[in-house]
Structure 1
Amino acid sequence: MTQTQTRTETESSTTTRLLQRQILPLDRDTDVFPLYVDLEEAKLDADRYDIGGNKAAKDLNNAAIRQSTSQGRKLHPDQIASRTQLRLEPSQVLSFGTYFNAFPASYWRRHTVVSDVSLTVDLTGPGTTVTVYKSMARGHAQRVDSGTVEGASGSFTFELSLKPFVDGGWYWYDVVAGDEGGSVDSAEWTAQVPADRAENGTADICITTMNRPDFCAKLLTQIGEDAELAPYLDTVMVMEQGKQLVSESEFFAQAQEALGDRLRVIVQGNLGGSGGYARGQLESIRKGTATYALMMDDDVVCEPEGIIRAVTFGDLAKRPTIVGGHMFNIYNRSQLHSFGEIVQPWRFWWQTRLDGYSQWDFGARNLRSSRWLHKRADVDFNGWFMCLIPRIVLEDVGLSLPLFLKWDDSEFGLRAKQAGYPTVSFPGAAVWHVPWTDKNDGVDWQSYFHHRNRIIAALIHSPYERGGRMVRESFNHQIKHLASLQYSTAELRHLAMEDVLAGPYALHGELATKLPEINAFRKQFTDAQLHEDRDELPPVRRKKPPKKGKSDIEIPGRLSTLIAAGLAPIRQLRPLRPMSREFPEAELAAMDSAWFNLVKYDSAVVSMNDGSSVALYRRDPEKYRDLLKRTVEIHRRFHREWPELAKQYRDALGDITSPEAWEKTFEPWTSKPQEHA
């Protein structure tokens, strides 16, 4: 046998690899049951092409799509026999066409070397039947095959092709119990893969934490105690950046015992999320023993099986691929934040893909009833609350930008995409996280980083000569904050733009100092001074009551909104109404504090989104004039200098994201012993 023949046989040989297995909730939490097992019927919504282009018809259809189709059918927790086994009542009908148990065929078809899969389902109970279905990108289901238990138990294997899934679609199976009941003992999706991909890769899990010791310790324990996950782990690194240390949590000993010598706690200053993740990325590269580095937030509950699936998908991808997980609401655990995100190039803003929906509740409308979930969601990036990055990608395109927080993950996704490395937001890999809607990050200290980092990302990646709508939208938002009496936010956004003009090489040096500067600066503004006790502020009083006693709080129509937007800046120049300095004119709940309500008042008490505090907003015509003048000037400058500034940031990108640049930033904490396990 010649050497060429030996090599050819090796290349053509294959081995069986497990892609996905049936799983059930670890904690038997009934809130998450719809993500694993579905007892509801499938009621597919209307095809948008049947609806047509009429705006009223589309609006009506969108409202209908959001309506719940659930009949309230519940699975009893006692039916969960194990992590993989589910018992069925006599004649019970249920579907595994769910987020965690359906097979996302189109993603495997598009991004991996897998062309065919085998589904093996083990059943117990005479007369129990399994039926396999597939869907196409437009959501309609097709019956594929079935099998029925003739004796006490049976094992059924179905050979399934991925060829029809070029645009979208899933495989799944439904089960109907026999007259005596039954059980689904296990189900596995396997494939024949090249022999050189038989072994699974491993991941360094990189968790950045700050002052969440208990949450972080519990997450570490969850990761460490999952026996199935262990072969996929290399090192679990915790970048400790707070004063309340994870190592001092009462739950840390259990985490340490579960992970053993795979756990590393790395202590450094508060360099934000990007500084924490970059440290994990750097350590992973320098160590060089893991195939991937997995970014994960400290305040999440994870589904450990999702990590296994992400690694498996990455192992079998056609090219090095970033594999991201989805984020579910930790307070409403069947609600998905977004199924896939893009950066809209003209506005340069992140958003759910244009034909998708955010805040989707699988408990109200299941996967089989939601047509839009069957089209494959192609994305630009995945949030770093859970995101698996191949080490080879980090070595090629560099580490995180030194942005402290916000836009580091989305910029990295765009950078990797430009270099030929796609990102896949992979169904079946997920964490539960505090939703963005419960935070005040659009108006608090984070507004500085939101604005600065968005501009920097646009300078690097916008395909338009002057950033598309970026500068104009920045100006519009600045006017909105001014008219809404949010002077601290307007000042921080202005400071952000000034710092962008300082150039890319200032970013590393500001990582450890910018947040304290921002917090000290904000203290002078009443709208940034938060009061946990409402009674610390004066009561509401106004000289002139509302007209005819009507509420001032309303949602205006389109014409009213345009009129309000045009008049709001002018109104800010009028003299202050009597009593508005001593007493707030209104008290607004967070949900009612939109700009079109705030612009009506000279002062108002406004509650924060997280429900923990309130702030006093006061109109200041002099401050408004000064900020308006500076706003006009700096936006004119950005429009004028954008091409030159973009070149400056693009030329520096390789330097400021390099391991060498980050090593210098970490030097204060690496030059002396700062690590403990």
Structure 2
Amino acid sequence: MSDPSTTTTSTTTSTATVTRLLQRQILPIDRDTDVFPLYVDLEEAKLDTDRHAVGGDKAAKDLNNAAIRQSTSTGKKLHPDQIRSRTALQLRPSQPLSFGTYFNAFPASYWRRHTVVTDVDLTVDVVGAGSVVIVYKSMARGHAQRVDSAVVEGEGDDARGSFSFSLPLKPFVDGGWYWYDVVAGDHGAVVEGAEWTAQVPADRAEHGTVDVCITTMLPDMSAQLLGQLGDAEELQPYLDTVMVMDQGKDKVTDSAFFPAAQAGLGDKLRVIVQGNLGGSGGYARGQLESVRKGTATYAMMMDDDVVCEPEGIIRAVTFGDLAKRPTIVGGHMFNLYSRSELHSFGEIVQPWRFWWQTRLDGYSQWDFGARNLRSSRWLHKRADVDFNGWFMCLIPRVVLEEVGLSLPVFIKWDDSEFGLRAKEAGYPTVSFPGAAVWHVPWTDKNDGVDWQSYFHHRNRIIAALLHSPYERGGRMVRESLNHQIKHLASLQYSTAELRHLAMEDVLRGPHALHGELATKLAEINAFRKQFSDAQLHTDRDELPPVRRKKPPKKGKSDIEIPGRKATLIAAGLAPLRQLRPVREMAEDYPEAELTAMDAGWFNLARYDSAVVSMNDGSSVALYKRDPVLYRDLLKRTLEIHRRFHREWPALAQQYRDALGEITSPEAWEKTFAPWTDPADRPADTSEAT
């Protein structure tokens, strides 16, 4: 059986080329109606207003942003039975349907900007007399243009048409997509399949292979993910090894889902057991094994708690194969609980603040079920990024060999720092439409104030020291101070202490990172248990009831969001208020009970004690004001931030000088030594280290 990604070679007078499959029409594997809008679209296109027409007036921009978020869906549904197979879809008589969707539109601008492909050919196979295929393209501003069309000739249900369209990529320098719509004939239609192909240089004929690297502490979810990879028949030729770095107490091999996963992947599956070294330690192990093995073209980082669209891996590999230069190809993240909702279409690190965010002219938490691709103007401009999250990210082996492996930082910022490091070395990252996983959304987590706050803060500072273009990190130090005071005013003393500890550890220098990788989490958890705001209770009745001597001033509600003026006044007064004595009764009874969504600093700062629920809805904690601890923490906060401002340039140079060493395979081999079979280690490891 021939490789489905290539066909016969043709030779011109100057260059040999080969036809290569870039993308094919796909439909949901499980026929889940929640994800239908990502594959097919029954809605009309209602393009939103161009932001350049709106202008720069803030009120006008706010109104336009609100309008853009409004749903245009009319609720039209495709019946699951209309999905005939992974590639075939049945349409009812006269039914119109668009394949201008996330998984089936062709992201022309990305291919135009980053690959050797200059023209594509679209072939659509349709059964059903009188059925019409219409090809469209969009420009960077979202305007759609009709390109070509064809009609199935003949009579009867079995009339068949196979239509090919030659489509240039030249006009897509800033953005734009190709897609096709189908309108069924009087007796219905079946869209049997569609393929996007291109003539590429003959030396790009063979597809690369990938080592999928999964770090896990969740045996069932990771085993189910392995099952998804093993069940995808078309994916198998692209897989070199699927490596699971098992760092949990309960092992993936003991999961009830593991035998089926093992049967599906066979000898391509490798489980590596090691201590809990966090995501960075797990991914670095996969990267190291992939580099040392040297048989795969790419290593793909993938979270364990995801649902994968296997076709996305094939597309990422294909795009990487045809890229002009070695390119990191990232996937997008959809919400596992609201499956048509996209977390972000492309992320950057804002250099002055040095904080990750959705690109400035984009939107996060975008629901394709409410507003389709063809109606969303901003999605048509190409999204250029600084990095891609390691929930799904394909890294060429040659990039790992040149720029090194992950930073040894346990969790947080390892993926974004790697993207910045690779970018500085000349290797871009592309967050590639059509490659995606479904993942638990960040909004359902509490990682800004729990034990993870230590890693958030420490690793953000380290990444800024390594890559900030500003002499003292831009706004980094000042923003750190502002956030620290905010946590103190919010009675989040455990978070403030962990952030302070993070800054102290940064000052210890880069060479301490490897040594504490396996121990820091336990130290953090033991340390934070002394603070009431870190002691979580699953039963609210374990804490005292709400009581207070005086009612709220003027009956003010905790769900009110203050305006700009009130917020500025509160920000100025909140730190001073923390110096006052604690009110009567607040030591024994909480003064309020706040839901997670209403627990903003401007509300928390008003109370001497409060019961606060966590973002995941599973527990509550008691926040209690402590003026003595507040004074001590505030003093230390001011001192350490002055020190960072003073020492930033020298500290940055220290970290930059050490980067190549601490991310080297040799440094990571030492860290992995307790969990490495000596027979698996290179013969020259001792000399190299």
* TM-score normalized by the length of structure 1: 0.98
- The Cα offsets for residues 353-382 of structure 1, whole Å up to 9 and x where unpaired, read as 000000000000000000000000000000
Tell me the equivalent position of 1:4.
Answer: none
Which runs of structure 2 are paired with 1:536-575 in the superposition (5 Å)?
A: 536-575=542-581
Tell me the equivalent position of 1:185.
Answer: 192
Which runs of structure 2 are paired with 1:281-292 in the superposition (5 Å)?
A: 281-292=287-298
Tell me the equivalent position of 2:464.
Answer: 458
How far residue 549 of structure 1 moved from its aligned partner, in angstroms, is 3.6
The answer to whether residue 155 in structure 2 is matched with residue 149 in structure 1 is no
Q: Tell me how far apart the structure 2 counterparts of residues 155 and 524 of structure 1 sit (CA, whole Å).
A: 70
Q: Tell me how far apart the structure 2 counterparts of residues 98 and 549 of structure 1 sit (CA, whole Å).
A: 49
Q: Tell me how far apart the structure 2 counterparts of residues 414 and 84 of structure 1 sit (CA, whole Å).
A: 38
Q: Percent identity?
A: 84
Which of 271, 274, 280 is the aligned partner of 1:265? 271
How far residue 124 of structure 1 moved from its aligned partner, in angstroms, is 0.4
**Contact 2:481–2:641 (8 Å) recurs in 1:** yes
Q: Tell me how far apart the structure 2 counterparts of residues 620 and 193 of structure 1 sit (CA, whole Å).
A: 68
Q: Tell me how far apart the structure 2 counterparts of residues 9 and 181 of structure 1 sit (CA, whole Å).
A: 42
SS at match of 2:333: strand
Tell me the equivalent position of 1:447.
Answer: 453
**Contact 2:609–2:622 (8 Å) recurs in 1:** yes
**Contact 1:106–1:169 (8 Å) recurs in 2:** yes
Letter in 2 for 1:289: T
Q: Tell me how far apart the structure 2 counterparts of residues 59 and 101 of structure 1 sit (CA, whole Å).
A: 32
Tell me the equivalent position of 1:245.
Answer: 251
**Contact 1:123–1:185 (8 Å) recurs in 2:** yes
Q: Tell me how far apart the structure 1 counterparts of residues 676 and 186 of structure 2 sit (CA, whole Å).
A: 67
How far residue 551 of structure 1 moved from its aligned partner, in angstroms, is 1.9
Tell me the equivalent position of 2:687.
Answer: none
**Contact 1:268–1:674 (8 Å) recurs in 2:** no
Aligned pair count? 667
Tell me the equivalent position of 1:135.
Answer: 138
Tell me the equivalent position of 1:104.
Answer: 107
Structure 2 unaligned segments of length 5 or more: list them.
Answer: 1-10, 682-689
Q: Tell me how far apart the structure 2 counterparts of residues 49 and 374 of structure 1 sit (CA, whole Å).
A: 15
Tell me the equivalent position of 1:202.
Answer: 209
The answer to whether residue 121 in structure 2 is matched with residue 113 in structure 1 is no
Which of 48, 53, 71 is the aligned partner of 2:51? 48
Which of 74, 77, 80 is the aligned partner of 2:80? 77
SS at match of 1:123: strand
Which runs of structure 2 are paired with 1:231-380 in the superposition (5 Å)?
A: 231-380=237-386
Which of 534, 537, 549 is the aligned partner of 1:531? 537
Q: Tell me how far apart the structure 2 counterparts of residues 195 and 557 of structure 1 sit (CA, whole Å).
A: 62
Tell me the equivalent position of 1:405.
Answer: 411
Q: Tell me how far apart the structure 2 counterparts of residues 10 and 279 of structure 1 sit (CA, whole Å).
A: 47
- The Cα offsets for residues 538-590 of structure 1, whole Å up to 9 and x where unpaired, read as 00001001234442331000000000000000000011111000000000000
SS at match of 1:512: coil
Q: Tell me how far apart the structure 2 counterparts of residues 31 and 231 of structure 1 sit (CA, whole Å).
A: 30
The answer to whether residue 668 in structure 2 is matched with residue 665 in structure 1 is no
Q: Tell me how far apart the structure 2 counterparts of residues 232 and 593 of structure 1 sit (CA, whole Å).
A: 47
Tell me the equivalent position of 2:183.
Answer: 176
Q: 1:322 to 1:375 in 2, by over 3 A?
A: same
Letter in 2 for 1:24: L
Tell me the equivalent position of 1:592.
Answer: 598
**Contact 1:10–1:195 (8 Å) recurs in 2:** no
Q: Tell me how far apart the structure 2 counterparts of residues 488 and 537 of structure 1 sit (CA, whole Å).
A: 19
Which runs of structure 2 are paired with 1:445-524 in the superposition (5 Å)?
A: 445-524=451-530
Q: Tell me how far apart the structure 2 counterparts of residues 118 and 525 of structure 1 sit (CA, whole Å).
A: 63
Q: Tell me how far apart the structure 2 counterparts of residues 11 and 403 of structure 1 sit (CA, whole Å).
A: 50
Tell me the equivalent position of 2:6.
Answer: none
Letter in 1 for 2:129: P
- The Cα offsets for residues 450-489 of structure 1, whole Å up to 9 and x where unpaired, read as 0000000000000000000000000000000000000000
- The Cα offsets for residues 176-212 of structure 1, whole Å up to 9 and x where unpaired, read as 00000011000000000000100000000000001x1
Q: Tell me how far apart the structure 2 counterparts of residues 47 and 654 of structure 1 sit (CA, whole Å).
A: 45
How far residue 9 of structure 1 moved from its aligned partner, in angstroms, is 7.3
Q: Tell me how far apart the structure 2 counterparts of residues 618 and 604 of structure 1 sit (CA, whole Å).
A: 7
SS at match of 2:560: coil
Letter in 1 for 2:268: R
Q: Tell me how far apart the structure 1 counterparts of residues 250 and 678 of structure 2 sit (CA, whole Å).
A: 21
Which runs of structure 2 are paired with 1:58-77 in the superposition (5 Å)?
A: 58-77=61-80
Q: Tell me how far apart the structure 1 counterparts of residues 662 and 361 of structure 2 sit (CA, whole Å).
A: 36
- The Cα offsets for residues 211-260 of structure 1, whole Å up to 9 and x where unpaired, read as x1111001001001110000100000000000011000001000000000
Q: Tell me how far apart the structure 1 counterparts of residues 599 and 38 of structure 2 sit (CA, whole Å).
A: 34
**Contact 1:15–1:192 (8 Å) recurs in 2:** yes
Q: 1:517 to 1:166 in 2, by over 3 A?
A: same
Q: Tell me how far apart the structure 1 counterparts of residues 393 and 515 of structure 2 sit (CA, whole Å).
A: 27
Q: Tell me how far apart the structure 2 counterparts of residues 241 and 328 of structure 1 sit (CA, whole Å).
A: 25
Q: Tell me how far apart the structure 1 counterparts of residues 580 and 631 of structure 2 sit (CA, whole Å).
A: 11
Q: Tell me how far apart the structure 1 counterparts of residues 507 and 577 of structure 2 sit (CA, whole Å).
A: 32
Q: Tell me how far apart the structure 2 counterparts of residues 41 and 591 of structure 1 sit (CA, whole Å).
A: 35
Tell me the equivalent position of 1:386.
Answer: 392
The answer to whether residue 39 in structure 2 is matched with residue 32 in structure 1 is no
SS at match of 1:646: helix
Letter in 2 for 1:214: D
Q: Tell me how far apart the structure 2 counterparts of residues 646 and 406 of structure 1 sit (CA, whole Å).
A: 19
- The Cα offsets for residues 374-424 of structure 1, whole Å up to 9 and x where unpaired, read as 000000000000000000000000000001000000000000000000000
Letter in 2 for 1:170: W
Which runs of structure 2 are paired with 1:626-637 in the superposition (5 Å)?
A: 626-637=632-643
Q: Tell me how far apart the structure 2 counterparts of residues 9 and 68 of structure 1 sit (CA, whole Å).
A: 50
**Contact 1:346–1:464 (8 Å) recurs in 2:** yes
**Contact 1:92–1:176 (8 Å) recurs in 2:** yes
Q: Tell me how far apart the structure 1 counterparts of residues 587 and 86 of structure 2 sit (CA, whole Å).
A: 62
**Contact 2:320–2:329 (8 Å) recurs in 1:** yes
Which of 604, 612, 615 is the aligned partner of 1:609? 615
Q: 1:140 to 1:486 in 2, by over 3 A?
A: same
How far residue 11 of structure 1 moved from its aligned partner, in angstroms, is 7.2
SS at match of 1:73: coil
Q: Tell me how far apart the structure 2 counterparts of residues 252 and 295 of structure 1 sit (CA, whole Å).
A: 20
**Contact 2:130–2:153 (8 Å) recurs in 1:** yes
SS at match of 2:187: coil
The answer to whether residue 128 in structure 2 is matched with residue 125 in structure 1 is yes
Letter in 1 for 2:598: D
SS at match of 1:459: helix
Tell me the equivalent position of 2:3.
Answer: none
Q: Tell me how far apart the structure 2 counterparts of residues 132 and 275 of structure 1 sit (CA, whole Å).
A: 47
Structure 1 unaligned segments of length 5 or more: list them.
Answer: 1-7
